[in-house]
Structure 1
Amino acid sequence: MVAGVDLTYPEVGATRGPLPRGYQHVHAGAVIGHGRARFEEAGDAVLHWGMQRGAGVLVHADGDVATVGAEVSVGLWPLRAPCRVVYVLEEDDRRGFAYGTLPGHPETGEELFAVRYDPADGAVYAEVTAFARHATWWSKLGGPLTRLAQRIITRRYLKAV
């Protein structure tokens, strides 16, 4: 982990609202079930790194639950990408967390992993919102491939919970 270092971007928390300019944006969602029980189950999974692990991403975290300030290294072998949790959502109808990139991550930006319950029809949604840009020469060089990989992994996140 890389405790004590700053995040690699200034727009900390921006996945809460309008995404900042100068980055690639991701906003994806899918219905994953219905009912309050399904929402509670999925919300618990998200807060326990379930989207990442369920998508096949390796997770090495400070703890079993995402908490503000927790550091986590995520990736697919052999790549490890260090991040820090910047906020946690524990609302009546929304659960999740966002983490931001730390030095050593091939991208710079933030990603929100959440589930949302719609009381109007009982639908439960998995959602991923992110903004990122390349931070290394090799991620810039592989730009089209890294964007494709991002789309694939985002779909896997949505199916993971």
Structure 2
Amino acid sequence: MTRFLSSLSRPARPRPSLSYREVGATGTPDHLPEGYHHLRHSAVVGHGRAAFEAAGEAVTTWRMHRASGAAVRAGADRAAPGVTLEVSVGLGGLRLGVPCSVIWTAYEERRTGFAYGTLTGHPECGEESFVVDLEPDGTVRFTVTAFSRPATWYTRLAGPVVPVLQRAYARRLGRTLRRLVRG
């Protein structure tokens, strides 16, 4: 009985919350919010229905992120609204883990993907989407759309370097996805 009562008296750990107000804005990429750095990167990753399905699977199961060198700890095997995850990048013991939550998903006939938003504790605040489209001519296109701004002293100090790194990572994801689709 004492063990039961002591577990009731422990304060609950605060659940991280989203660190920005414009939740879902990557769902309308032509109208990203002002006051943020905007990123749009698109790459052709294959052709045809099989390539589209392979790309969509790699994106929504975190495989693309992992194959690009990022570590992913997620609350589910597949992207779904409300799933929390931590994506970390770096080398060896020098890894930066960033907390995120899936905001929206698309599991459609010609469009598959998701967006995650930053949680408190993330060095940036904003949202990023990863979407695969099957175009009418059979082209399979992967697009990263994001808006972000610094949320910590060290990302503010890094200034213009952060958007350069974000763009490089988006390009790496496109190359990785192309390789996964072909392989």
8 Å Cα contact 1:51/1:113 also seen in 2: no
Question: 1:149 Cα deviation (Å)?
Answer: 1.1
Alignment partners' CA distance in 1, 2:134 and 2:107: 12
2:41/2:167 contact within 8 Å kept: no
Contact 1:111 1:129 in 2 (8 A): yes
Residue 16 (structure 2) pairs with residue 5 (structure 1): yes
In the TM superposition, what is the alpha-carbon distance from 1:50 to its structure 2 partner? 2.5
Residue identity matched to 1:136: T
As a proportion of its length, which structure holds more helix? 2
Who is 2:103 aligned against?
86
Q: List 4+ stretches of structure 1 deviating above 6 A.
A: none
Residue 3 of structure 1: how far off its partner (Å): 7.1
Which residue in the other structure is 2:63 paired with?
Answer: 50
Aligned residues, how many? 159
Q: Which residue of 1 aligns with 2:148?
A: 132
Aligned to 2:89: 76
CA deviation map 1:37-57 (0-9, x unaligned): 100111111110123112211
Give the structure-1-normalised TM-score.
0.94
Q: Deviation digits for residues 109-133 of structure 1, max 9, x if unmatched?
A: 00001100012x1100011000000
Structure 1 residue matching 2:160: 3-state secondary structure: helix
Q: Percent identity, please.
A: 48
CA RMSD of aligned residues (A): 1.3
Pick from 98, 122, 132: which aligns with 1:115?
Answer: 132
Which residue number in structure 2 is paired with residue 32 of structure 1?
45
Distance 2:151 2:145 in 1: 19
Question: Which secondary structure does the structure 2 equivalent of 1:46 belong to?
Answer: helix
Gaps of 5+ in 1: none
Report the CA distance between 1:144 and its aligned residue.
2.3
Between the aligned partners of 1:50 and 1:41, the Cα distance in structure 2 is 11
Alpha-carbon distance in structure 2 between the residues aligned to 1:148 and 1:27: 12
The 2-side partners of 1:153 and 1:111 are apart by 12
Residue type at the aligned position of 2:99: P
Structure showing greater Rg: 2
Unpaired runs of 5+ in structure 2? 1-12, 178-183
| Aligned match for 1:61, one of 74, 89, 96 | 74
Q: Which SS does the other structure have where 1:68 is aligned?
A: coil
Instruction: Please state if 1:103 is matched with 2:120.
Output: yes
Partner of 2:175: 159
Cα distance in 1 for partners of 2:22, 2:67 equals 28
- Which stretch shifts more, 32-41 or 46-55? 46-55
